[in-house]
Structure 1
Amino acid sequence: MREAPPPVGVPLPAAPGISRIVAPNPGPMTGHGTNCWLVAHAGGTAIIDPGSDDPAHLHAIRTAARGPITHVLLTHTHRDHLSGARPLAASAGAPVCGFRNSASPSFTPDMALDDGARLAGLTALHTPGHATDHLCFAAPGGIVFTGDHVMGWSTTMVPPAPDGSVRQFLDGLARLRALAPSLLLPAHGPAITRPDSCLRGLIAHRLAREARIRAALGPEAAPLAELMRRVYRAIPPALRRAAELNLLAHLEKLQQDGQAVHGHDGWRIAPAPPGAPDHTPPA
């Protein structure tokens, strides 16, 4: 699901009381830029993921806010979400709110949020996987702000431990499905108007990727570079590092599931338990 480049610095309505301003930070991992979400509530406006610290961008947010900016919320502390938080909060006199255990050693939230915390009409949902401190925010009417956990324009990069986890990422997708949301508003790309179809597709994609990686493993250990060659037919240079991290994260899950073994010379398929049928493909 892609969209034409949206205007930068212009409030774009998404639902009653909710609009986005796209930050001027486009790139291979951010698409057209980070969506800064403005959420009106009884006390003013909550801001989710200011993104860039560009002065014109922050001015556009302040101008578009309905009433005072009461909270600056972070889905997680990756730079393309965090950069504008402190300067915007300082200018508005509002707290920066994020998960209680920050993944960034240089950042501590003013207001630490636990899973289930409620503020500004929103409920925080801890959804690690892409980042250990990742939060989604559920709003009334089945609307969920999904940060980088769910995006329609691209699959999410899931890094290996200690920064990420494929198992936790899949658990988070299942949790969001169980909410039966009506609208997903991601941190990059357009609104997702068919949430269940999107979530089912993302889960299927991850499981298919896992199956492909498992099929690439053999009884002889292979280094990561060789597995990259087997799993990814072609990858743009700008995305290669992200693909390597994704591959490692999936290999870690296979190891946790007892299906892969890692040694000094690389990764191999785990031996079948005694008495189990041998499904190893012929050489």
Structure 2
Amino acid sequence: MSAPLAEVAQPTRNGWRVSEPPPPYDVPLPETPTIRRVVANNPGPMTGNGTNSWVVEHADGCVIIDPGSEAPEHLDALVHATGGRPVTHIILTHTHRDHLEGARPLGARLGVPVCGFYQSEEPAFTPDIGLRDGDMIAGLRVLYTPGHASDHICLETPEGIIFTGDHIMGWSTTMVPPAPYGSVRQFLDSMDYLRARDSHLLLSAHGPAITRVTECIDGLVAHRHAREKSIMALLPAHPCTLDEILDSMYHKLRPDLRRAARLNLHAHLEKLHEDGRVSLRDDRWMKIAP
């Protein structure tokens, strides 16, 4: 059973990070007078407390961003969160399963288009309305932000609030997979893009609101640079497989996080290879002597 709103604990901060205890699931949580959050009951190591679905009012009704779960109680909660206002669009920040799963069922139920980046990363999904960087939809500006996913977008309100999907999260760093699905270089470029927007509030797809925007972005960028340095410091001078490097870097890695750590490592090695700092031959990586 979901907790009453009065019992929802406030977020806590640790440096650039901001976290919160599990919020009530499938209950509309007011974020601003025109924005409500509905948290899906799909917690896990990659989703934190669950996927945030956002209901955002605009002049002609409202949009739903990242419906997430297809569980009936979650879709019911999203409809309830509209307050009876017409839903004009469903918008996906990207097509990973914990964002996409409820989109088609909810779109069919409401009779509205499901929108996303025009080049979908998911072969089985084609958006009804394909979006590009700079497009305007339902009062929101589309910001193309590849890195975590090749089809990742953020959405900006006229008031300077940005829905960041998985690109920026306060509770954790995001997974950046290797090409063709992701890119550390693109991730960092997208961070620069968002930092230049001078937003005062970031609302991500997992975790609480981020009010210290610059501090969070700078912290996440510094984490990526520090990870790059640690990889170079620990990378052996002889050729090693990806799994050998991973095992040398993580001695007590939780089994449920191994895949994400491996993907992140692979993506960082790809960038270091592009930078001419490591070599790759026969699926083995090696540091290039300065």
Which of the five TM-score ranges fits, normalised by the shorter chain? over 0.9
Q: Which one-letter code corresponds to 1:214 in the other structure?
A: M
The CA distance in 1 between the partners of 2:200 and 2:249, in whole Å, is 35
Q: What are the Cα deviations for residues 225-265 of structure 1, in whole angstroms up to 9, with x where unaligned?
A: 22113322421110011000000000000000000101126
| 2:39 is the alignment partner of 1:22 | yes
Match of 1:62 among 74, 79, 83: 79
The 10-residue stretch of structure 1 (262-271 or 92-101) with the greater mean CA deviation from structure 2: 262-271
Mapped to 2, the partners of 1:69 and 1:265 lie a distance apart of: 49
Q: Structure 1, residues 30-84: CA drift from partner, whole Å, max 9, x if none?
A: 0111000000011111000000001111011111114111100000000000000
Residue in 2 that maps onto 1:277? none
Tell me, in whole angstroms, the C-alpha distance in 1 between the residues paired with 2:150 and 2:185. 12
Q: Secondary structure at the match of 2:104?
A: helix
The answer to whether structure 1 residue 127 and structure 2 residue 148 are counterparts is no
Q: State whether structure 2 residue 243 is matched by structure 1 residue 243.
A: no
Q: 1:121 to 1:224 in 2, by over 3 A?
A: same
Structure 1 Cα separation of the partners of residues 232 and 105 of structure 2: 46
Deviations 1:104-149 (A, max 9, x none): 0000000000111101110011100110000000112210000000
Name which of 147, 151, 154 aligns with 1:136: 154
Moved over 6 A (4+): none
TM-score, scaled to structure 1: 0.94
Structure 1 counterpart SS, 2:159: helix
User: Which SS does the other structure have where 1:210 is aligned?
Assistant: helix
SS in 1 for 2:38: strand
- In structure 2, give the amino acid aligned to 1:31: G
> What secondary structure is seen at the aligned counterpart in 2 of 1:141?
coil
- Percent identity, please: 59
Query: Gaps spanning 5+ residues in structure 1: where?
Result: 273-283
Partner residue in 1 for 2:190: 172
Aligned to 1:263: 281
How far apart in 2 are the matches of 1:233 and 1:195? 33
TM-score by length of 2: 0.92
Aligned residue runs from structure 1 range 81-96, under 5 A: 81-96=99-114
Determine helix, strand or coil for the equivalent of 1:128. Answer: coil
Tell me by how many angstroms 1:89 deviates.
0.9
CA distance in structure 2 between the aligned counterparts of 1:94 and 1:265, rounded to whole angstroms: 46
**Whole-Å separation in 1 of the counterparts to 2:70 and 2:123:** 19
* Closer, same or farther: CA 187–265 of 1 in aligned 2, 3 Å: closer
Equivalent residue in structure 1 for 2:237, among 219, 224, 248: 219
Alpha-carbon offset, residue 217 of structure 1: 2.0
Paired letter, 1:35: N
Matches for 1:127-206 after TM superposition, within 5 Å: 127-206=145-224
Aligned to 2:49: 32
2:9 corresponds to: none
Correspondence 1:10 to 2:57: no
SS of the residue corresponding to residue 170 of structure 2 reads: coil
Counterpart CA distance in 1 for 2:82 and 2:107 is 13
SS state at 1:193 partner = coil
The aligned residue for residue 106 of structure 1 is 124
Q: What SS class does the counterpart of residue 140 from structure 1 fall into? A: coil
1:80 counterpart residue number: 98
Secondary structure in structure 1 of the residue aligned to 2:19: coil
Rounded to whole Å, the distance in 1 between the matches of 2:47 and 2:237 is 38
Q: Give ranges in structure 2 of 5+ residues lacking alignment.
A: 1-17
Q: Secondary structure at the match of 1:10?
A: coil
